[in-house]
A = this chain, B = another copy of it.
């Protein structure tokens, strides 16, 4: 049986280009005792992958050249020589950019293969009830810790992580401001997700808009972007504000993302905390239970951008880094 894979074949110099990737056909090897064969139905594309493509010290392992790109996947067990998994089980794992995967159940890249319920759509386990959802949950609950009535700003607000942050913050009684790119995304963030306001960073001065929609200043920030948007927020911080630094996507293609308003950290006694959700594996069960319940009951909304077919992954990933996606970026593999 053929397994199509996408390998990293060249490290990007700045902007990612499609020639960094190559589609490779491999044979699915015969199953050994203890192993499970999974057909991946969904592939998750996430900004963190950009960091792995560079051969520099980062928070996680460097993506090797001429190997399958890392990535979260969700699929179905096709064959099993492991008593814990049966044919037909739906599972979420991290098989990377390929159509099939084999594991002994311990998974890959530190993420064990987990059996998931079919009560919610399988793709949700790569988003709102997966790594992005737990990322939102941790940053909001463990770093920002918003009190009712406080103002929380979420950048990349329509994305897989930001959309969850804002909805959870609203449920805690915060005044929630999103920042997103474009009127369509902003309309969704405010109208569908229920944020109190959304600033379109492409439409004008973010600082001025923030002063209007957050007149009492900002107490908590979930930062996915960095650069000028981060600076505009820093200028509006209240004393004792908390900033969860989850991503700095504005610099992922190699641009500098200098900060100007560093003094706000001092004068407002801010806590600025960088974090990576994989450092907090012990929190995942609690977070996933809560997020799964909210999705099942319809209280937590999400949206997906779906690219069709493994071969579309490189272009979809490049688009994700530019903000072309609208909600969680997925590749539907079948």
By a beta-carbon cutoff of 8 Å, the part of chain A in contact with chain B is: 51, 57-59, 226, 230, 239, 245-248, 251, 256-260, 262-263, 265-276, 279
Chain B residues within 8 Å of A265, by CB: 245, 272, 274
Complex Cα gap A73–B274 (Å): 40
Chain B residues within 8 Å of A226, by CB: 262-263
Could you jot down 16 A-B contacts, CB within 8 Å? A51-B267, A58-B267, A245-B265, A245-B266, A248-B262, A257-B262, A258-B258, A265-B272, A266-B276, A267-B274, A269-B275, A270-B273, A271-B271, A271-B273, A271-B274, A272-B272
- Known contacts A257-B262, A266-B276, then 17 further A-B pairs from the complex at CB < 8 Å, ordered by chain A residue: A59-B267, A59-B268, A226-B263, A245-B265, A245-B266, A246-B266, A248-B262, A248-B263, A251-B263, A258-B259, A258-B262, A259-B262, A269-B273, A269-B276, A270-B274, A271-B272, A272-B273
Complex Cα gap A247–B268 (Å): 12
Chain B residues within 8 Å of A58, by CB: 267
Interface centre among A57, A226, A267, A269 (most CB of B within 10 A): A267
Chain B residues within 8 Å of A260, by CB: 256, 258
Interface pair B279/A269, CB less than 8 Å apart: yes
Chain B residues within 8 Å of A256, by CB: 260
Nearest chain-B residue to A223 (Cβ)? B266
Nearest chain-B residue to A264 (Cβ)? B274
Nearest chain-B residue to A273 (Cβ)? B271
Least CB distance from A256 to B in Å reads 6
Complex Cα gap A267–B257 (Å): 14
Interface pair A268/B274, CB less than 8 Å apart: yes
Nearest chain-B residue to A272 (Cβ)? B272
Complex Cα gap A221–B265 (Å): 15
Complex Cα gap A293–B49 (Å): 53
Chain B residues within 8 Å of A269, by CB: 59, 273-276, 279
Chain B residues within 8 Å of A258, by CB: 258-260, 262
Complex Cα gap A265–B239 (Å): 20
Complex Cα gap A57–B262 (Å): 14
Partner pick for A267 among B57, B259, B270, B272, CB 8 A cutoff: B57
Interface centre among A226, A251, A263 (most CB of B within 10 A): A263
Complex Cα gap A260–B259 (Å): 7
Chain B residues within 8 Å of A262, by CB: 226, 230, 248, 251, 257-259
Nearest chain-B residue to A227 (Cβ)? B262
Chain B residues within 8 Å of A57, by CB: 267
Chain B residues within 8 Å of A257, by CB: 262-263
Chain B residues within 8 Å of A259, by CB: 258-259, 262
Nearest chain-B residue to A247 (Cβ)? B266
Chain B residues within 8 Å of A271, by CB: 271-274
Chain B residues within 8 Å of A268, by CB: 59, 274
Complex Cα gap A258–B231 (Å): 10
Interface pair A266/B270, CB less than 8 Å apart: no
Least CB distance from A231 to B in Å reads 9
Interface pair A266/B248, CB less than 8 Å apart: yes
